[in-house]
Structure 1
Amino acid sequence: MKTRINLYSESLLPPELRLSFNRMAIGLMVLLVLSVVGSTLSYVLVLGLESDHAELASTKNSLEREKTDLEAKIALRKPDAKLVAKVDLFAQQIELKQMLLGELSQREALTSHGYSPLMEDLARVANASIWLNRFQVEEDNFVFEGFTASAHSVPLWVDRLKMTETLKGQAFASMTMNRGDDQPLSFTLTTTAQTEANQ
């Protein structure tokens, strides 16, 4: 009489792998698409900043020509108080434009190298009337310091800041403006987290 013994057991089968080739391929495709989208957004931002840079440089050159013409007129006649004041104003505007050009160049470099989301948001809301010379981040609080070509440009810039991802949920607690001797109009803007502001 023959006796059969079944040695088959499911535990002897190799475990089923959760990570299949198809899943790996899909994951790689998703990463590739995200990388392309990110690179495209950075490229578009850099193009916009380059356009602003060119426009600002053209305005600065025009101001320098007008300043030179006025200086030539002053040299040919007795000093006119109005002309002298106008030359001083042009000199201040040129200085501001020069600072703005430096800031735009820095933003172009930061954006093209994919720096932090805050820097990308600042690049998105940048305009030719605002120049940041310092900003500080402490936990959820922000401090922005800079110069502006006109007082009404700052509130407009703040409204655009409120729409960015980084500054969502922030309450703009205070803003001060000051015009120093022979300096453009400066401003300081501070924010606090919305939860703190409500308390």
Structure 2
Amino acid sequence: MSWLSNINNALSAKKEQYQFIVVVQADAVYTSRNSDNEQVPQSFAITNGNWEGALSQALTLAHKKESICVVLGATQYQTFQIEKPNIPQNEWSTALPFLLKDLITDPVTDVVADARVMPDGQKVLAYVIHKRIVQSILKQCEKYSLGLAKILPEDEVWGQAYTAQENYFLLRHSEQSSYHLSAYVAGCPVFSRTLRGISMPVTASDSESGVIDNLALDIQRSADYLSSNLSGALFRNLVINCDKDNASQLNEQLQAIVSLTVVSIDEPPLPCVNVIINTVLATTPSSINLYPEHLRPHKEVISLNKVVAVWLITAAVFGVLSYLEHTKSVQSQQQLVSLKQQSNLLGKEKSSLQQSLNNHTPTQAKLDAAKRIEQDIAAKRSSLDAVNQFDDSQKVGYSAIMNALAQQARNDISLQHIQITSDKLNLVGVASTPQSVPSWVNQFKKELVLVGRSFQSLNLDRSQRGVVRFELKAKSGDKQ
């Protein structure tokens, strides 16, 4: 199996489900829909054994694209018990025809088989049908655009129909078929026998005498045979579901003869086909499927053309991405070149500015010269401050003060010493009397250049000769 097939199988595997059920019996083909709770299945009678024609009519009730489950009657298949194959179970469907070649009359290429493990784990129960049956069913499904999901033997369905006991005998009979006796262990058929030569129904008023006894004898012999040959399995119940028979009468007559407890599957009893359909709808599908994977029309989820197309698309995507990446790279390269050019220009500008900075950086000689200039400016500022200390009287000279003092000359005052500075006016002299000095000072108000002078001290004393001497110290009014 190629890697492409493995991928397809993995992608196509999904949970088994179906919407339409078809049951092929000896008298008719019955149908029922999974979504409908139909009490009476639709039936299409089989004429002259042409079950394919009845199947074709039955499938007209299905909706397009619906999934189909087909249940085959016991006359459509064979069962065999063989040793468990020492191969993986997923390969049984292809290997079983070769393992059964000594037991079947048809060529191994003309049969389809599937199997399940028996309760003892040493043997398997194999179901075999002719491949023509599968092909006919598949052809009819394809005709109506339906999907064939599963082909089940009815023995597998009956194994799930009665759940009160794991081990039991089942006596069933449907329209136009013989009585069939089966034994089940945990849902697996371990014994199956068609009871021939028994007229139907056995409870009819016109039935042959002793027919019930013959039926009960066959059942008891089968029970005794299984009890002695099948260890570990204890059968207590005989379950019956026989169409056209009176269920209560049949139960009573068989209970009086056989050692098993006789019960019915349903109360009131239902036709066999109803039990089959209800069981298929209500229980988990059996692992048996006579429509194996190798016969299904494989839809290639991944084909060579799709792989090539994906490769081409991937190549195109990579090509576009490569082109975009190249374009982006070219743009980035151009941007890098532009940035390098700007960097070179900025580097040159930096060098020029650095040179200008160096040219404007003062030398030590310039710094010394600037320091000398600053010292010269400080000296001149100091001189200017000294000049600013002189008041208006000093700007016009001392002659005005001398003239003002001359104007205030008195006979009782005689000045002997005059001292004039920028902020001082000291007068020393003699007076005829002590009162003359204050009177004379009071006259200074008449002279503009003397106005504003305040006197700090006035000293008066007398000499030995009795002469009054005074010393007057004054300062400028704005220099107080």
Using the size of structure 1 for normalisation, the TM-score is: 0.39
The structure with the greater share of residues assigned to helix is 1
Question: With CA pairs under 8 Å and 6+ residues apart, which has the higher RCO, 1 or 2?
Answer: 1
